[in-house]
Structure 1
Amino acid sequence: MKVRRTPWWYYLLALVIGLLAGLAIAMAAERFALSLIGAPWMVSMVLLIMGIVILVLALQVHKYATTEPAKRRSGMDPAKAVYTLVSAKALGLAGAALTGWYGGQILVSLPHLDAPYYKRAIMECALALVVCLIDMVIGIIGEKLCELPPTEGPEHPKVKEAKRRRKLDIATDAASGDYRKLRHDSRDRPRS
């Protein structure tokens, strides 16, 4: 299974969708005199804790993936690594969408800054916006940390370079007329 990085425009799209939804909910709250804007402080705390937990897990996956197999102390459950990657992707996209959501609420509420209700809602939304922005960044970084380094298989740059050099040496030997060395090299190569 090959996992691809989340394209940058997904985050932009999530941010714009969140912004439009936040604007719409804040306008509806203003028009119908409903109490729909703002974010309880507890929501910001939970979002921040989730971001920190995912960052710690991503750092563990990165440490395990970049440590040489001989130096690893214990194995890591592959499911834990995959769940961490999926969580980081989800955190990044949710952080982008919620950043737009709270930003939209702030934009609609700014003209009413004099009213205590709107002042409190703007403060709550500003805190939530900052936390969601941090979560988005943690999600992007966490996704990068969960990438596995290339294996020593046929697609690894070192293996490709070694094959290229071997072909170049064979071509050089053939061009120089040293067929004895060329015949000796061909016996050393593994047959495919």
Structure 2
Amino acid sequence: MTRDQSPEPHVTPTPFAALAAWGVVGLVGGWALRPLTQNYADSSPVVTWLQVAALVFVAAFLAGTAWVTHRTISRRSWIDPHKAVNLLVLAKACALVGALVAGGYAGYAIAWIGEPAELAEQRMIRSGLAAVAGLAMCVAALLLERACRVRDDGEEA
């Protein structure tokens, strides 16, 4: 194929395998955090409500942006290409980060199961909620990615 005959480049949806891989990396990192901090520091990190709220806020922002983008494209059938690319890059990045964060907080929560330490239950609950919020962030980012998808003339949304 010559350069003139090559197909136009296109962006594919974020593969599930990449999301799963980042989730596993986060899971291992979060699980390893507690023993490392107990061996090399005075105490393990405490998960605050602000961390959970920040993840919920980002997930809500992404979901709202996905909804607005979908409505804009379905009404006008187009969107400014630069804006669409920016939204797509944001969606792809947030999907991967959401998977990593969800795995990290889930691993940290798992590390505290059965521990008699002070604040262990608090760390477990807040880490679990942060993991759910990270997963919501990942799902909302995937919805935004889907909203940016260019459809063929006969394809339904």
TM-score normalised according to structure 1 size: 0.68
**Counterpart residue type for residue 81 of structure 1:** A
**Number of the residue aligned with 2:89:** 86
Partner of 1:50: 58
* Structure 1 or 2: more helix by fraction: 1
Question: Cα RMSD over matched residues?
Answer: 2.1
Q: Which residue of 2 aligns with 1:22?
A: 30
Question: Residues 73 and 79 of structure 2 are in contact (CA less than 8 Å); yes or no, is this contact kept in structure 1?
Answer: no
CA distance in structure 1 between the aligned counterparts of 2:60 and 2:140, rounded to whole angstroms? 8
Give 1:35 shift. Answer: 3.1
Asked if the contact 1:25/1:105 (under 8 Å) is kept, the reply is yes
Aligned 1:1-192 pairs, distance under 5 A = 2-68=10-76, 76-112=79-115, 114-151=116-153
Greater RCO, CA 8 A, separation 6+: 2
What TM-score comes out, normalization by structure 2 length?
Answer: 0.82
Give, in angstroms, the shift of residue 32 of structure 1: 3.3
AA partner of residue 148 (structure 1)? V
Q: CA deviation at 1:107?
A: 1.6
Distance in 2 (CA, whole Å) between partners of 1:139 and 1:145 is 10
4+ residue runs over 4 A deviation: none
Aligned residues: 147
Q: Deviations over 1:52-92 (max 9, x none)?
A: 112212222222222355xxxxx844322222221121121
Q: CA deviation at 1:33?
A: 4.7
Q: 1:38 to 1:140 in 2, by over 3 A?
A: farther
Q: Which amino acid aligns with 2:121?
A: K
**Structure 2: how far apart are the matches of 1:77 and 1:68?**
11
Structure 2 residues not aligned, in runs of 5+: 1-8
Per-residue deviation, 1:124: 1.6
Structure 2 counterpart of 1:181: none
